[in-house]
């Protein structure tokens, strides 16, 4: 028997597929704090007895939870609740959004919600050193634009690095990971706009305005600059290839 967890916690009547039932049981126990980071979960035999399901079902559910980064399987030792949420936790969400064929308007609303929230939290938590790092990322962008306005891939990487610096400046690891997920989701469309004429100069101007608003610690100014950047990205990413584009 497990030294840490009472197997009776897993005793519940299933209402969905067996694998979904096992996954949702773990979800429920984690939400109720009956399972905590670092806990060693019962072994497969104990789980099959408590959940009244097959060992194959248990193995499949545990593999899915491990792929999400929720569980950590240690061969020869046991299976543990992960102590922190890995970036791969969001991988399945990206695939779900891709497969759901969500329209661009709804995706833009998601980005708008996250980006405006990021500005507010950065202004609440960031230090002078954080603002210096954000400015350094901006300067790297400016230097690359000066060198090559047509380097779409390189400019996209620097653009996203600027936003990663914002995420780190929130001082909130959960927010940072969610933000990174959103940035990964939009990276292809950002790169596409950089392939269009004059986009790099336009994008740089928007990032300068965001940076200036943050350095002034002006939430309205920085938030409006972020909104203007998103609006231009949305307009230009749906325009014809002959038109200029901006992130």
Number of domains in the chain: 2
Residue 245 falls inside a structural domain: no
Note the pLDDT tens digit of each residue in 140-157. 999 999 887 778 999 999
Q: Do residues 154 and 194 touch, judged by C-beta distance below 8 A?
A: no
Please tell me whether residues 95 and 57 are part of one structural domain: no
Query: Of 84, 112, 145, which closes a domain?
Result: 84
Domain span at residue 17 reads 7-84
> What gap in Å lies between CA 99 and CA 101, rounded to an integer?
5
The residue out of 36, 69, 84 marking a domain boundary is: 84
Q: What Cα–Cα distance (Å) separates residue 89 from each residue in 65, 70, 75, 94?
A: 9, 7, 21, 10
Residue 175 contacts by C-beta under 8 Å, 6 or more apart in sequence? 117, 118, 121, 167
116 and 207 belong to one structural domain: yes
Q: Are residues 54 and 124 in the same domain?
A: no
Report d(CA 57, CA 44) in Å as an integer: 10
Give the residue from 56, 84, 112 where a domain finishes.
Answer: 84
Interval 77-113: pLDDT, tens = 999 999 876 656 666 666 666 666 666 777 778 888 9
Q: What is the pLDDT along the chain (247 residues), one digit of tens a residue?
A: 445 666 666 655 545 689 999 999 999 999 899 999 999 999 999 999 999 999 999 999 999 899 888 899 898 899 999 987 665 666 666 666 666 666 677 777 888 899 999 999 999 999 999 999 999 999 999 999 988 777 899 999 999 999 999 999 999 988 998 898 889 888 888 888 888 877 888 999 999 999 999 999 999 999 999 999 988 877 766 543 334 334 4
Count of positions (residues) in the chain: 247
Q: Is residue 22 part of a domain?
A: yes
Residues 6+ apart with CB under 8 A from 200: 145, 149, 150, 155, 194
């Amino acid at each position: 028997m497990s030294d840490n967890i009472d197997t009776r916690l897993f005793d519940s009547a299933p209402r969905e597929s067996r694998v979904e039932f096992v996954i949702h049981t773990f979800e429920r126990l984690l939400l109720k704090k009956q399972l905590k980071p670092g806990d060693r979960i019962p072994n497969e035999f104990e789980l099959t007895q408590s959940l009244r399901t097959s060992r194959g079902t248990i193995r499949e559910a545990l593999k899915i939870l491990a792929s999400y980064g929720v569980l950590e399987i240690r061969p020869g030792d046991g299976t543990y609740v992960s102590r922190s949420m890995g970036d791969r936790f969001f991988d399945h969400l990206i695939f779900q959004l891709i497969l759901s064929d969500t329209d661009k308007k709804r995706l833009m609303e998601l980005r708008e919600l996250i980006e405006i929230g990021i500005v507010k939290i950065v202004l609440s938590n960031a230090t002078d050193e954080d603002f210096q790092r954000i400015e350094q990322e901006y300067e790297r962008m400016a230097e690359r634009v000066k060198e090559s306005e047509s380097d779409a891939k390189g400019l996209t990487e620097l653009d996203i690095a600027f936003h990663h610096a914002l995420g780190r400046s929130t001082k909130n690891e959960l927010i940072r990971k969610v933000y990174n997920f959103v940035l990964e989701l939009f990276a292809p469309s950002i790169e596409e706009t950089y392939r269009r004429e004059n986009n790099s100069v336009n994008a740089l101007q928007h990032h300068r305005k965001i940076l200036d608003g943050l350095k002034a610690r002006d939430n309205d100014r920085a938030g409006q600059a972020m909104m203007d950047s998103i609006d231009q990205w949305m307009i230009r990413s749906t325009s014809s290839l002959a038109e200029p584009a901006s992130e």
